[in-house]
Structure 1
Amino acid sequence: MNVPRTSRTVLIVDDSVTVRRMVAAVLESAGWPVLVANDGAEALSLLEREVVGLVITDLNMPEMDGITLIERLRRLPALAEVPILVLTTEMDEDTKARARDAGASGWLGKPVDGRAITDVTAALLG
């Protein structure tokens, strides 16, 4: 079934195919349309033509890391208010502060269970 892309669409940005597939499967089974990107550069390219209501991003990725992606998204008027959830193994306070300062809306540590992803997505998308 092809779900129309609306503001309920979630963009998952992670260089791990396994993580992208797991998060996408969880969110799609809960009814959210999903897009995926391998890194920040691919995400920005995708967002030139797609509308999303939430971005879930890893921090450590090739081409463009998650902090840079968050900073770039916050500079785009159409995406300045879109929630950005960080999903990463990086749990130190300095990294969390950098992500918050860049504009991250929330944080989930890997590994994460499906219930946490759907709960946070529901809270951020309403």
Structure 2
Amino acid sequence: MRVKKYLLAIRLLGFQPDEEAQIAAMLGEAPPGGPAFTCLVEDSLQDPDLYVVNGEDLRALAALVDIEPEAGELALIVGPVEMAFPCAQIARPLEPARLCSMLTDLAEHHMAALQRIRDRGLALRPERRRRQRLDFDVTDPALYQSRRRPRPSGAILIIDKGGALRDHVARLLAVHKLSIEWTDSAAAALHLCEETPVSVVLINTSTPDIDPYVVCAAIKSLPNGSRIAVVFLINQAFGYDSVRARAAGVRGLLDKPVLDRHMVSALKKLLSLPA
């Protein structure tokens, strides 16, 4: 069986920019009849389906184990590895057809495993850690306790040209009984963020007459702005500027079209919602 007409999100770890671009170009020309692939940018909040990791970068291998303890099911290692590592491996120079084929096989096994979890009635729990896991942690537990914050309880505000996305997100998160608002106006968005509790702002960057960077910076400059997570929803035509985004205080981005599972996972992380 092959995965048909399915978009797989790939996170690249440990590659130099030129090789990263080369791999992204290979995956962008995936053979017909199988899945399509997209490589996530560093600021993406989307959960990757699979990882492609430089086997010669020890920090990337350590990061993979920290992010995904079950790395063997989710990762493809490029090049030689100096230690035993429970992952599929592919040698350099990379052959596009073989790279896509191996990732497709990994995806099939992973999706079958997820389906078995769902069939057992178990929930898929999103990762919520914001800091790297420590192998041997001698930190005073009181320090961690002092860092704990109450779960965000404000609304989700969606800035978009119409209310369809607001209605869809409301359906996706109906069980959590959240307040979800919508506006197509920068001024109205600032007023809502200033006068009412808002925890997350989703900005569709294709909304007419909206400069998402300017709106984000204005939201973050509000007295309560530091507690509001601003997320961009972008398409391929949008020239995302990571330096400008970080300066404005953008928490991250999601690529359109956003699959329901990616939208729900991102919002659950941002709002510390139960699985």
TM norm structure 2: 0.39
Match for residue 17 of structure 1? Answer: 163
Determine whether 1:80 maps to 2:216.
Answer: no
SS of the residue corresponding to residue 53 of structure 1 reads: strand
Structural RMSD (CA):
2.3
Match for residue 67 of structure 1? Answer: 213
In structure 1, the gaps of 5 or more residues are 1-5
Matches within 5 A, 1:95-114: 95-114=241-260
- Percent of aligned positions that are identical: 27
SS of the residue corresponding to residue 21 of structure 1 reads: helix
In structure 2, the gaps of 5 or more residues are 1-151
Supply the distance in 1 between the matched residues of 2:265 and 2:230 (Cα, whole angstroms).
15
Determine whether 1:120 maps to 2:253.
Answer: no
Supply the distance in 2 between the matched residues of 1:124 and 1:62 (Cα, whole angstroms).
26
Q: CA deviation at 1:95?
A: 2.6
Determine whether 1:42 maps to 2:195.
Answer: no
**Residue type of the alignment partner of 1:7:** S
**Residue type of the alignment partner of 2:263:** I
Aligned mate of 2:174, from 22, 28, 42: 28
Call closer, same or farther: CA 1:32–1:115 in 2, change over 3 Å: farther
**Residue type of the alignment partner of 2:158:** I
Call closer, same or farther: CA 1:92–1:37 in 2, change over 3 Å: closer
User: RCO higher in 1 or 2 (8 Å CA, sep ≥ 6)?
Assistant: 1
1:37-87 per-position Cα deviation (integer Å, ceiling 9, x unaligned): 113222112223211111111223334321111010111121123111111
SS of the residue corresponding to residue 227 of structure 2 reads: coil
Runs of 4+ that moved beyond 4 A: 90-94
Q: CA deviation at 1:92?
A: 6.1
2:157 and 2:201 in contact (8 A); partners too: yes
TM norm structure 1: 0.78
Match for residue 3 of structure 1? Answer: none
